Amino acid sequence: MSAIESVLVENRVFPPPEAAVKGARISGMKAYEALCAEAGQDFEGFWARLARENLAWTKPFTRTLDESNAPFYKWFADGELNASANCLDKHLGTPVENKDAIVFEADDGAVTRITYKQLLARVSQFANALKAQGVNKGDRVIIYMPMTIEGVVAMQACARIGATHSVVFGGFSAKALHERIIDAGAVAVVTANYQMRGGKELPLKAIVDEAIAMGGCNTLKQVLVYMRTATACNMVAGRDQTFDEALEGQSTECVPVPVNAEHPLFILYTSGSTGKPKGVQHSTAGYLLWAKVTMDWTFDIKPSDVFWCTADIGWVTGHSYVAYGPLAAGCTQVVFEGVPTYPNAGRFWDMIQKHKVTVFYTAPTAIRSLIKAAEGDEKVHPARYDLSSLRILGSVGEPINPEAWMWYHKHVGGERCPIVDTFWQTETGGHMITPLPGATPLVPGSCTLPLPGIMAAIVDEVGKDVPNGSGGMLVVKRPWPSMIRNIWGDPERYKKSYFPEEMGGTYYLAGDGAVRSEDRGYFRITGRIDDVLNVSGHRLGTMEIESALVSMTELVAEAAVVGRPDDMTGEAVCAFVVLKRSRPTGEEAQKIATQLRNWVAKEIGPIAKPKDIRFGDNLPKTRSGKIMRRLLRSIARGEAITQDTSTLENPAILEQLAEKL
């Protein structure tokens, strides 16, 4: 990598290629600016226009934004619609109905296609099965499924009958699943017997059983099991049914239930700065509107596109850009069951070539690992594949480092595809700050400018704008339709987490630090300002990992978790642990570290496993007993300690904690 590619101040600029500007839905910066001006001049009118143009309403709304109970905003509040009807039924009688909605590629490479019309029938039948199981409008359904057509069907079927789904990522543990079943008060769990990943058959249903066996799932009545593989799984009579059993005799027609615009479409749990995950509650109309509009704007989606978002439905990206957005936009999308490195690290490139993908959306962490693989093995280098179908590339989940950006641009995009570096969050429902492929000049590592209607800014602690070039906190000054509506069952936490009083109580605080460039005013995200880590694009709360560690009560006395930069995963988890026994060293320390890692994997999921574990006799604390996290962060990074350590009771522990296993 040449030095110029690693400098901190990025001044390479890539104007959008003419081919991308021509015919784009937002073509050229003037068109972008005109939309921003429209939103600036008539904020509600702008959103009302989009909501009328992009959604099919069973009862039109008359009121756009209700701020009377801020920050509990309501959008289009007297309107009614159905999300599934807006993704499926609306294409009936159009040329879309007979085209592939989903091209599914299984872990082993087997391909299954389903047209829009067939998908509608499948969703309707599943919706009828849910109804027959007693699932009603407003009930919560947990979906713990692999990446499959059936996973999308389950989500759409819930939406069709007005049930609120909560998808739990298939990599989460029984404990995490248990917590979510209870918090959501779920009446049903939709799962699969097993999932296939990288040639391995991994249990899902057994984990559901384990979660339910932990007790307290009092609202839960049904478990529906998709038989993904031929291997039998435990079935509890009277509670569990296979998909085949549940679908038997059910009609493939189901009238979509109109719901209020504000009806909770889904709850998705994500990590915050305290131990307990937050149930991010999203609306129906506002959420779906933005999923659809961002497909059009950010990805410039056309009817001829083959869209592929590699995210799992267990994350918000898999909600907005797999389960809802692409269907609302009426394009063909690829859904992939497996992992990018199986059977080899050329899998993504092979699939792009095979399915003639035109718009490809993935995470920097995947790109970085594929760069490494391609550099080590020419056979999996993108140059070996025909990627000429691609016209737009996307990045999501974490900042993309300029080195990875350049490689993605050159080797995957053939220097002709704009890269949209989309900044957003579980809470924002859809893209917030992102380039537009047919308008925005690109700067590697920058998510550039807010979408029209998104009033993003960078401010200080009291909400005052900071000048370009100065770092501050990223906020959104006005509500937007797809924003989080509440933390499920905890309105106080919603207010406290996102709408700081010191800023006036109505600015949405993203939790990220950011800076705008002096020349263009482009946004660059500098990382979380709270105790949240981003490991491989997955959000993890340091407190969650700490509670998992200290819940090993026989062994662990105290634990502190911080992040440190990592070349591959963006950030890595670093845990400082005090044991109840004497401080271990050498081989014994290794053994205990493995034990701790496995415990965290069991408590939360393998993604939360600490990469580094350091043992100390105690932790550095202030006089008032607060753990000095800044100091731990420096130690984790291997930096020289510049902080004042004079208050430390036992300065010798700094040396202990700096010691790598």
Label residue 414 left, alpha or beta by phi (over 0 means left) and psi (-120 to 50 means alpha). left
Rounded-to-integer distance, Cα 554 and Cα 225, Å: 37
Per-position x/- string for 392-411, each x denoting binding to ligand WT7 as judged by CB under 6 A, each - no binding = ----xxxx------------
Q: Which stretch binds ligand WT7 (CB under 6 A): 149-157, 164-172, 416-424, 549-557?
A: 416-424
Q: Which stretch binds ligand WT7 (CB under 6 A): 234-242, 282-290, 424-432, 639-647?
A: 424-432
Rounded-to-integer distance, Cα 27 and Cα 302, Å: 14
Judged by CB under 6 A, the residue of 424, 494, 499, 522 near ligand WT7 is 424
| 614 in a labelled binding site | no
| 143 or 420: CB nearest ligand WT7 | 420
| 424 in a labelled binding site | yes
Torsion (CA) 345, 447, 330, 357 in degrees, nearest 10:
-30
**482 DSSP β-pair partners:** none
| 124 or 271: CB nearest ligand WT7 | 271
∠ CA 400-364-102, nearest 5°, is 130
Judged by CB under 6 A, the residue of 316, 443, 556, 561 near ligand WT7 is 316
CA 10, chain centre distance (Å) = 27
Q: List the alpha helices (DSSP H) in 505-625.
A: 542-550, 586-603
Per-position x/- string for 247-286, each x denoting binding to ligand WT7 as judged by CB under 6 A, each - no binding = -----------------------x----------------
| 162 or 394: CB nearest ligand WT7 | 394
| 116 or 315: CB nearest ligand WT7 | 315
| 197 in a labelled binding site | yes
> Rule CB under 6 A: which of 494-513 touch ligand WT7?
510-512
| 536 in a labelled binding site | yes
Output the DSSP codes for 446-483: --BSBPTT--EEEE-TTSPBPPTTS-EEEEESS--TTS
Q: Which stretch binds ligand WT7 (CB under 6 A): 20-28, 175-183, 311-319, 556-564?
A: 311-319
Judged by CB under 6 A, the residue of 128, 260, 317, 401 near ligand WT7 is 317
Question: Could you give the 3-state DSSP secondary structure of residue 532?
Answer: strand
Closest CA to 523 of 570, 567, 473: 473
CA atoms within 13 A on the CB side of 339: 14
Judged by CB under 6 A, the residue of 309, 412, 525, 540 near ligand WT7 is 525
DSSP 14: B
Question: Could you say whether residue 313 binds ligand WT7 (CB under 6 A)?
Answer: no
DSSP 467: P
Helices and strands counted in the chain (H then E): 20, 30
Q: Which stretch binds ligand WT7 (CB under 6 A): 43-51, 390-398, 604-612, 619-627?
A: 390-398
Closest CA to 509 of 450, 460, 563: 460
Rounded-to-integer distance, Cα 652 and Cα 207, Å: 44
- Residue 102 near residue 119 (C-beta atoms within 8 A): yes
Q: Which segments are annotated as binding site?
A: 197-200, 317, 397-399, 421-426, 512, 528, 536, 539, 550, 556
Q: Which segments are annotated as binding site for Mg(2+)?
A: 550, 556
Q: Which segments are annotated as binding site for CoA?
A: 197-200, 317, 536
Q: Which residues bind ligand WT7 (CB under 6 A)?
A: 270, 315-317, 396-399, 421-426, 447, 510-512, 525, 528, 534, 539
